[in-house]
Structure 1
Amino acid sequence: MSLFETLSEMIDLRSFSNLWYWIALAVMWSTLSHRILGAPFDMVHRARKYGGQAVQDLDDLVRINVNRMMFVVRSAGVWLLGLACFFLSALATLGFVLGMEIAQAVFLLVFPLSLVVLINLMTAQKVLQNEAQGEDLYKAMTTCRFLIQLLGMIFIFVTALWGMYQNLNIGPLGG
């Protein structure tokens, strides 16, 4: 196999048979489950274990990120929701009605991402309303992380099934 053939195989645009797609999927879910409300989850462990300045750092970082998220929701939330719904609808139509594999692949990355945003926003709202700090904040962040990881497992499984379905050439419109 020549160098050109190897490179063209690595850069193949058939999404579900491309190694880079699966790497991106893994990195995306790893990153999403590591950063909760904009704070690295290891800060929760450090705050629980050491207390003191670690607790204050976590509380401050989460407070800043929650306030930023709520400001965006209050100022442009409706517009962003409309744009996200349009984008997701366009991807779903292109991918699953018209049979474009790249649109299917992007949809299977972006749709769960939108659900993660909703989970983060609900958690941020809860943290803001309860003025959560200390153990209440840890519990809220741990629950949020668990939900994101559960969603990740479900969507990685769904994406893998759909990818195998496409790669077996029995997809919609005859593959």
Structure 2
Amino acid sequence: MSTRTARYDVSSQRVIVVMGVAGTGKTTVGRLLAEALRVPYAEGDAFHPEANVAKMSAGTPLDDADRWPWLDAIGEWIRRGADLEGGIVAAPSLKRSYRDRLRSFAPGVVFVHLTGERPLIERRMAERKGHFMPTTLLDSQFATLEPLQPDELGVAVDVRGTPEEITRRALEALHRL
């Protein structure tokens, strides 16, 4: 999926948000993309206040009131990256309104939506060690997810395969924007 209203040039060093439900590999693919593009990387989870982490760890989904300050903190990082050398940040960005909020900090932000079948993602989540997000919240993630719309600058990339294969497909898709 890509937009027709704007064009993306990987060499332009814009900020890219790697988005998707929990367990799609946002952190791994985000780090690989940052390495390939030679830009800074930020982990969206690191911007959560302790109260959000505690809530999710207890199996309670966040609501929008929990998310706005978190999205604003990510947005500030995006703004700094857009003003400097670009960057990659992993952040679910499940709703259009969340992506709009992030775009308000840097209109040229690009989204890489990692997509996949629920059984694959659930298996990957179950195999993760030390992450605060339980698999019981996956249903709420899919229920919240609003895929990229045609007027949003971004691409959808399937998460089947190795992280390196997914990253390669993401880079190829970004080059086609």
Same fold, judged at TM 0.5 (above): no
Point out the structure with max Rg over C-alpha: 1
Q: Which structure shows the bigger proportion of residues in helix conformation?
A: 1
Greater relative CO (CA pairs within 8 A, separation 6+): 2
More strand by share: 2
